[in-house]
Amino acid sequence: MRSVRAPRRLALLAVLLSACALADAAVLKAHFYRHSCPAAEAVVRDIVLARVAADPANALPARLLRLFFHDCFVRGCDASVLLDSAAGDNAAAAEKDAAPNKSLGGFDVVDTAKAVLEAVCPGVVSCADVVALAARDAISFQFGRELWEVQLGRRDGVESRAAEALAEIPSPSANFTALEAGFASKGLDVKDLVILSGAHTIGVGHCNLFSSRLFSSSSTTGAGAAAPLRAACGSPSNNATAVAMDPGSPARFDAHYYVNLKLGRGLFSSDAALLSDPRAAGMIHALTREDYFLREFKGAVRKMGRVGVLTGAQGEIRRNCRVVNS
């Protein structure tokens, strides 16, 4: 009986948390800075698009989107992932120094945008909103249009703990039960899980995060994909080599991730886990259509962007995204 009730409890938890998140995020709105800093969105957009255009490896869209995800999954979308660890022997490490965040990138782009905004509109635009805008603008670059509207009005958190990042960020080795529970704790449901996993259509994964699957006798990686990955990685402990998460179109934000998934070629255990649950697996075929995936992703990423936000008098507007105001 426990196994039957558990999914129902998770579903109820997700509904309750989603309702709380929606209430907390009620003041988020499009063009929040229309009067207080009219140039805010244009400043972030121009800086991000220029940096993406100048990036020959086209790695920045994936980095900025991942930065947004990792921020929202710990303490909500409050830019706590941007804070540097405090100095001192007794100081707790910040989120960015946790193992899951060691390979994050895009901090310099956020810093640049924030510095310009502070010159134009001091103390007005939050770092959390810069992260949300930068992710959207970087992904939108290839399309020449904004893929989704970003609701704004977040404020910045004043705490950041590596231990929380280690506990809260979904592991690439997680099974479906752990993934569903982790997403439900943020007010996100199975559909959100499946759609947001589609972000693995761009970017790279380091070998040590998935190669144990390749060298296991019970490997679930598709035979056609396993051999070249084994050759690239060499050993399960290789943490220096990274490979494309979507080898068919690694630099394009598209629906090819789901094509790979249907063929059993998901890179991480957490990708393959989506096939182990009938609800999740039943969504994958439709998501191989790019127009449908992009439409659904728009809704899911906006929902994620409302997780645990600080608004009103909560938190602060950091002057420097790396440190709390003194």
Give the C-alpha distances (Å, rounded to integers) separating 156 from 78, 129, 325. Answer: 5, 9, 10
Beta strands in 151-307 (DSSP E): 151-152, 204-206, 242-244
Amino acid present at 229: L
Three-class SS state of 320: strand
Distance CA 154, CA 128 (A): 6
Tell me whether strands 29-30 and 204-206 are parallel, antiparallel or unpaired: unpaired
Tell me whether strands 151-152 and 29-30 are parallel, antiparallel or unpaired: antiparallel
Three-class SS state of 266: coil
Indicate the annotated binding residues for Ca(2+). Answer: 71, 74, 76, 78, 80, 95, 201, 246, 254
Which token pair is 139? Answer: 């992904």
Is-contact 246 266, C-beta < 8 A? no
Active-site residue, selected from the candidate residues 70, 206, 256, 285: 70
Is-catalytic flag, 256? no
At residue 321, φ and ψ (nearest 5 deg) are: -65, -15
Indicate the annotated binding residues. Answer: 71, 74, 76, 78, 80, 95, 170, 200-201, 246, 254
Indicate the annotated binding residues for substrate. Answer: 170
Distance CA 287, CA 297 (A): 10
Name the residues annotated as catalytic. Answer: 70
